[in-house]
Amino acid sequence: MTALYTAAVAAMGDGRNGRIQSTDGHLDAQVRVPHDLGGPGGATTLSSSGGYAACFDSALKLLAKAHSICPYSNATRGNVEVSLAIA
């Protein structure tokens, strides 16, 4: 399989108390254990949540696009009730 995209991010410091930085310079952030989890708080690991949300949104759009061009979906559209779900 051919890679479509490659990204690299380095984590420096002491686990979740440190810094994350991408090789292209677009991501450069301090990370800290959230205060609610016993850490110092401040900069947290929200970048992971944001990345996951963006990826999940892309997957939903891909699912909808696949459904719109699928020959089986096209053949049954309007005749069979279809619901899309991610398991």
Residue 29: CATH number of its domain: 2.20.25.10
In the structure, what pLDDT confidence band is assigned to residue 87 with cuts at 50, 70 and 90?
low
pLDDT digits (tens, 9 = 90+) for 14-58: 877 888 888 998 888 888 888 888 888 776 656 667 767 777 788
- C-alpha 85 chain-centroid distance: 18
Per-residue model confidence (pLDDT) at position 45: 59
In angstroms, what CA-CA distances link 15 with 3, 31, 44, 53? Answer: 28, 9, 12, 22
**Segments forming the whole domain that contains residue 23:** 1-44
Q: How far apart are CA 50 and CA 44, in angstroms?
A: 12
pTM reported for the whole predicted model: 0.50
Query: For residue 9, is it within any domain?
Result: yes
Per-residue model confidence (pLDDT) at position 19: 86
Query: For residue 34, is it within any domain?
Result: yes
Q: How far apart are CA 71 and CA 44, in angstroms?
A: 45
Query: For residue 76, is it within any domain?
Result: no
- Domain total of the chain: 1
Query: For residue 69, is it within any domain?
Result: no
Query: For residue 28, is it within any domain?
Result: yes
